[in-house]
């Protein structure tokens, strides 16, 4: 297999770091943008330097300097963007429109993977305010990509394990509760939990795969399609103790939304669609999609009982 030249935009971030690592591990020539805007952010600089030590190439460019972006893009075949779409983090999905302008002008990119990595925004036209902004923005980015005829793959990675599994899907915390756990409805809606390192592995597998050209890659590892209750059972087995369960109805879950800050309002909407409506699993993958664990059975994905061991 010929190796690709890959540019990661957002390489120092939560998911981007994992993309850079996975790309280097697959033997691709891996470029990471070094933005002048990092200024005195010593953590970001150290991450970049550690990538360089591992063989990545740092390229100076800024998202507010079109020329610099075009020059960076001209060096590669594949662009992966992992800018944050999470509201309690930097949240800047529409900045990708500038990247698309540059990809259009450069004209050499064989595959662009925009920042998606969650639910499929194309299936969220009915989503609640204000959480729908995430999907509306991702669709705006898709529209720009498709109008510019840029070859793409959209990755629907479902629930990042650190946000959804380590906390047994409780909001407002990243750690498992010790006594009481809240079940959404009957806790019996199938969701999909994916270790972020696996998100990066599958994503890198797909960048030069003709089967995912202009398609959506859904990451649905079969053993990680679980209900909230099934996830909690795995945890209880690990700690050898039962948690006290209470359920919250859909109505009670949604009613206090006005009193929350904006990021939490966005979160409530997302959790509602995932855990009550079942938006991650209530559809079959059509001919515009492929499933990652089917295409790449060689990836030994992390099962959630293994993942949760870290939290004991």
Interface residues with ligand GNU (CB under 6 A) are 86-87, 118-119, 134, 158-160, 163, 167, 171-172, 174, 264, 266-267, 270, 274
- Left (φ > 0), alpha (ψ -120 to 50) or beta: where does 20 sit? alpha
Residue with tokens 């591992």: 54
Ranked by CB distance to ligand GNU, the top (closest) residue is: 118
**Angstrom distance (rounded) from CA 141 to CA 114:** 8
DSSP for 127-185, please give it: PPTTTTHHHHHHHHHHHHHHHTT--BEEEE--EEHHHHTTTTT-TT-SS--SSEEEEET
Closest approach, Cβ 138 to ligand GNU, in A, equals: 8
User: What would the two tokens of residue 233 be?
Assistant: 């059972």
Closest approach, Cβ 261 to ligand GNU, in A, equals: 10
Residue whose C-alpha is closest to residue 124's, from 154, 104, 84, 95: 154
Based on CB atoms, which residue is closest to ligand GNU, 38 or 86?
Answer: 86
Closest approach, Cβ 191 to ligand GNU, in A, equals: 8
Helix (H) / strand (E) element for 266: namely helix 262-272
Catalytic residue, candidates 17, 21, 138, 205:
138
Closest approach, Cβ 123 to ligand GNU, in A, equals: 10
Assess whether 309 carries a catalytic annotation.
no
Based on CB atoms, which residue is closest to ligand GNU, 74 or 91?
Answer: 91
Based on CB atoms, which residue is closest to ligand GNU, 21 or 273?
Answer: 273
Based on CB atoms, which residue is closest to ligand GNU, 49 or 174?
Answer: 174
So which residues are the catalytic ones? Answer: 138
């Amino acid at each position: 297999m010929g190796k690709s030249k890959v540019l990661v935009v957002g390489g120092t971030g939560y998911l981007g770091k994992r993309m850079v690592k996975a790309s280097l591990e697959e033997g691709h020539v891996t470029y990471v943008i070094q933005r002048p805007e990092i200024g005195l952010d010593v953590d970001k600089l150290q991450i970049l330097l550690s990538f360089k030590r591992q063989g990545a190439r740092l390229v100076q460019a800024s998202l507010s300097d079109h020329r610099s972006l075009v020059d960076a893009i001209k060096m590669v075949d594949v662009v992966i963007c992992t800018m944050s779409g999470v509201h309690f983090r930097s949240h800047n999905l529409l900045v990708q429109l500038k990247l698309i302008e540059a990809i259009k002008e450069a004209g050499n990119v064989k595959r662009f993977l925009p920042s998606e990595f969650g639910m499929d925004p194309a299936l969220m036209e009915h989503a609640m305010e204000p959480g729908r902004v995430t999907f509306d923005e991702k669709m705006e980015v898709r529209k720009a990509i498709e109008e510019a005829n840029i070859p793409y793959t959209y990755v629907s990675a479902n629930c990042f394990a650190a946000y959804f599994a380590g906390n047994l899907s409780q909001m407002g915390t990243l750690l498992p509760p010790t006594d009481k756990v809240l079940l959404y409805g009957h806790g019996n809606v199938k969701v999909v939990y994916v270790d972020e390192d696996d998100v990066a592995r599958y994503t890198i597998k797909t960048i030069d795969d003709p089967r995912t050209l202009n398609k959506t890659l859904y990451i649905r590892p079969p053993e990680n399609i679980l209900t909230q209750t099934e996830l909690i059972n795995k945890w209880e087995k690990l700690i050898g103790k039962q948690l006290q369960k209470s359920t919250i109805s859909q109505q009670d879950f949604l009613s206090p939304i006005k009193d929350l800050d904006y990021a939490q309002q966005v979160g409530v909407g997302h959790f509602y669609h995932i855990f009550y409506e079942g938006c991650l699993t209530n559809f079959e993958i059509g001919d515009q999609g492929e499933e990652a664990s089917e295409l790449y059975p060689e990836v030994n994905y992390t099962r959630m009982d293994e993942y949760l061991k870290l939290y004991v």
